[in-house]
């Protein structure tokens, strides 16, 4: 039976970089955020999300204004919970369908930003936490997104503290220098083949 390996890390940790490296090694990788974005483009989902917000969150092209939603939900945990109640069950179904298509793989990687926050580790055979120093994470996000340091710190504050994630993780990869990170992943692949 295919083993499910949860991959997570705080914003700017480099979890997606690590996920892409696993994929480059021929390992099936499911990226939950990408699945959620695709699901959020569904017309019925657009209407369902808009019904939960008093502010207009639909763009002129009929798609959701993700930036506006991001600003609203990261300032209000209740709204984040409402959004998650709409999106998470649909992502779960999408993942189950994807897993069925990859059932011959010895293991797959399921990359989830909020794996531990949603208690998702209980559905995994093992978990990997990608970490990096806080200033490195902030610098990466500032270079990648059009946002402010304050917004990044707010997102970090809304995520589970790093030390708690370390306690929950099966494996931890410190991701500061990519060549070292890739060597750690190569070693981990050999371990994961035998769990």
Q: For position 83, what pLDDT does the model report?
A: 92
Q: Is the pLDDT of residue 26 over 90?
A: yes
Q: Which of 31-35, 70-74, 168-172 has the highest mean pLDDT?
A: 168-172
Q: pTM score, two decimals?
A: 0.88
* pLDDT single digits (tens) 69-82: 988 887 788 888 89
The response to whether 14 counts as a known ligand-binding position is yes
The response to whether 10 counts as a known ligand-binding position is no
The response to whether 16 counts as a known ligand-binding position is yes
The response to whether 24 counts as a known ligand-binding position is no
pLDDT, average across residues 174-184 = 96
Ordered structural domains, the chain, with CATH = 1-28+104-195 (3.40.50.300), 34-101 (no CATH)
The response to whether 12 counts as a known ligand-binding position is yes
Q: For position 145, what pLDDT does the model report?
A: 87
* pLDDT single digits (tens) 35-49: 999 999 999 999 999
The response to whether 17 counts as a known ligand-binding position is yes
pLDDT, average across residues 134-155 = 91
SS (HEC) of the chain: CCEEEEEECCCCCCHHHHHHHHHHCCCCEEEHHHHHHHHHCCHHHHHHHHHHCCCCCECCCCCECHHHHHHHHHHCHHHHHHHHHHHHHHHHHHHHHHHHHCCCCCEEEEECCCCCCCCHHHHCCEEEEEECCHHHHHHHHHHHCCCCHHHHHHHHHHCCCHHHHHHHCCEEEECCCHHHHHHHHHHHHHHHCCC
């Amino acid at each position: 039976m295919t083993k499910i390996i949860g991959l997570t890390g705080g914003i700017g940790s480099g979890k997606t970089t690590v996920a892409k490296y696993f994929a480059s090694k021929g390992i099936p990788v499911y990226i939950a955020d990408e699945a959620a974005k695709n699901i959020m483009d569904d017309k019925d989902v657009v209407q369902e999300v808009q019904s939960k917000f008093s502010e207009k969150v639909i763009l002129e092209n009929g798609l959701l204004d993700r930036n506006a939603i991001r600003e609203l939900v990261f300032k209000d945990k209740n709204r984040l919970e409402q959004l998650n109640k709409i999106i998470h069950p649909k992502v779960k179904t999408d993942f189950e369908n994807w897993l069925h298509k990859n059932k011959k793989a010895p293991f797959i990687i399921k990359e989830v930003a909020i794996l531990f926050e949603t208690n998702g580790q209980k559905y995994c055979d093992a978990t990997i936490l990608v970490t990096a120093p806080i200033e490195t994470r902030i610098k990466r996000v500032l270079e990648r997104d059009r946002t402010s340091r304050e917004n990044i710190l707010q997102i970090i504050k809304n995520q589970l503290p790093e030390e708690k994630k370390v306690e929950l993780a099966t494996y931890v990869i410190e991701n500061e220098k990519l060549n070292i990170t890739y060597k750690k992943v190569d070693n981990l692949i050999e371990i994961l083949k035998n769990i």
